[in-house]
Chains A and B, each alone.
Chain A
């Protein structure tokens, strides 16, 4: 009995610790007052609506969307063949390659951002948008390789040979047999990459320039000047967006198998 209570208490405090801040943000955004505070001063939906009126939010949202979608797609275009090569061919040092591919996960984002700024944007005159795009692609790549590898490893290799003997070229065998069978893995990688890229702060922090800011950075800037509940409202909306995407992915693909 005592044990049950103890374990329940631990579970409850853990959940509170994880989800608690999220509830504070939701309610802070529901405030009727004009400054960010908790508990909210009265209840209203006006800050949730106000979010859509802020011009810079709309611009940075568009940029973040662009980076998340295109960066992830680009990472998949590189990552799927890479994962295939790592899984199917006996490449010398495949384990090392996997480790290098995973580097952007291991290396702190601040350092990645600083390095990209120092060695790409400054000396090579890369535009900020291009640098951001490259950075986000590189950040998502490890997830793409890892998740696609997982589903490739679950796929028999002899079905490709079977396809070849039925008349396929190697390329046709890949597109007609391999690709359809790892489709859910690719979708899972896309969603994971999208969420990662969209919520990315440290790398984007270094690479944001005048007028070019991702949404999280824009929110940070906005908060330094204007301390109203719209940031809380926007945070809550973004969290719901991420949750929605992951929820749908879990329901349709069994997302958690791949992560």
Chain B
């Protein structure tokens, strides 16, 4: 059998007249941890709901473990979903929440007890089994929701914004926990997020979506270092994006923003070029700008510099001495850190 856990083929998803996802093709491998990343309204949640069976596709095919489940109803798909708000049953204890699905399957009581206890153990909630959901913290509720899905041994586990409702410290803890869990159980996980840092940190592979279309897929390293389009670059933190407006001579070109232009002493065939803030050199170089803002961020200083081509963001190691607001600095947009981009797909 193939190693494809989920296969979406020419999937069209629509709400009435509004087409959310025009035609999606995506294969998710067994044991993979995939992030569906994109801004709100990009179709990532719709796609996830379609995989779960909570939404009927207008056309196309959904295969799970090689079986066409497009027409299979949500309660028979064997897909788990951890809701953003956890969706715990308020009238049932932690134990009963986890046991809910097993009881429906008429599992023998002894097996239920054993499986629920193992599930609670896995997420570190054994000692809170008798608590009601309202008596648990946000992080505990999420782990309970996770255990409730995991004991059903789903073919795919879907997670809707798994970290967004947690505070910064819990977020790190949960991130580690999800990775550990995935390694231990080998379960295929697909999670939806609008937070690129979350996707980069957690996923084996990121599927970046925009307006219902996959903009780019790749490993976190791929996407972080080598975005292909203006949208992808902007989403993963290339804060300085310029249009290449013309090659003036054999070894120079002009880049432009909405507000102005800069001359660079090298050429590119790309339609756009982008630099991360840490890719901009400050203190030397052919251009000059005025420091409009500077913020100390521990290991670095974050500058905003007003230039002929508008504002430029630059990060400089904090060990270097600070340039004050209002001072003029020279800077360079080096060829080595420039990422060539296409305008769109």
Give the residues in chain B near A155, CB-CB below 8 Å: 90
B79-100 interface code vs A (CB 8 A; 1 in, 0 out):
1110101011111000000001
Pair A166/B85 contact, Cβ less than 8 Å: no
Give the residues in chain B near A165, CB-CB below 8 Å: 52-54, 74-75, 77, 79-81, 149
CB-contacts of B30-72 with A (<8 A): 52-54
What is the CA–CA distance of A156 and B101 in the complex, to the nearest angstrom? 19
B303 to chain A, nearest CB (A): 44
Pair B89/A163 contact, Cβ less than 8 Å: yes
Main secondary structure of the interface of A (DSSP, over half): helix
B159-197 interface code vs A (CB 8 A; 1 in, 0 out):
000000000000000000000000000000000000000
Which listed residue (B77, B79, B87, B104) contacts A162, Cβ 8 A?
B87
Give the residues in chain A near B89, CB-CB below 8 Å: 159, 162-163, 177, 181
Interface size on B, residues (CB 8 A): 24
Give the residues in chain A near B104, CB-CB below 8 Å: 166-168, 172
Closest B residue by C-beta to A182: B91
Q: Select the residue from A164, A172, A176, A180 with max chain B CB neighbours within 10 A.
A: A164
Give the residues in chain B near A158, CB-CB below 8 Å: 83, 85, 87
Closest B residue by C-beta to A157: B87
What is the CA–CA distance of A187 and B100 in the complex, to the nearest angstrom? 25
A161, CB-defined interface residue at 8 Å: yes
Pair A164/B74 contact, Cβ less than 8 Å: yes
CB-contacts of A150-209 with B (<8 A): 155-156, 158-159, 161-169, 172, 176-177, 180-181
Closest A residue by C-beta to B154: A165
What is the CA–CA distance of A251 and B300 in the complex, to the nearest angstrom? 60
Closest B residue by C-beta to A172: B104
What is the CA–CA distance of A40 and B163 in the complex, to the nearest angstrom? 73
What is the CA–CA distance of A164 and B75 in the complex, to the nearest angstrom? 5
What is the CA–CA distance of A180 and B75 in the complex, to the nearest angstrom? 20
Q: A161-B54, A161-B83 are in contact. Are A167 and B105 (CB under 8 A)?
A: yes
B211 to chain A, nearest CB (A): 25
Closest B residue by C-beta to A177: B89
B73 to chain A, nearest CB (A): 8
What is the CA–CA distance of A176 and B97 in the complex, to the nearest angstrom? 12
What is the CA–CA distance of A46 and B152 in the complex, to the nearest angstrom? 68
B residues within 8 Å of A by Cβ?
A: 52-54, 74-77, 79-81, 83, 85, 87-91, 100-101, 104-105, 148-149, 152
Nearest 3 CB-CB pairings of A with B: A166-B101, A162-B87, A158-B87
Q: Report 14 cross-chain contacts, Cβ distance below 8 Å, ordered by A residue.
A: A158-B83, A159-B90, A161-B54, A161-B81, A161-B83, A162-B83, A162-B87, A162-B89, A163-B100, A165-B74, A166-B75, A167-B101, A172-B104, A176-B100
17 A-B pairs besides A158-B87, A159-B90, A165-B79 with CB distance below 8 A are A155-B90, A156-B85, A158-B83, A161-B54, A161-B81, A161-B83, A161-B87, A162-B83, A162-B88, A162-B89, A163-B100, A165-B74, A165-B75, A167-B76, A167-B152, A180-B91, A181-B89
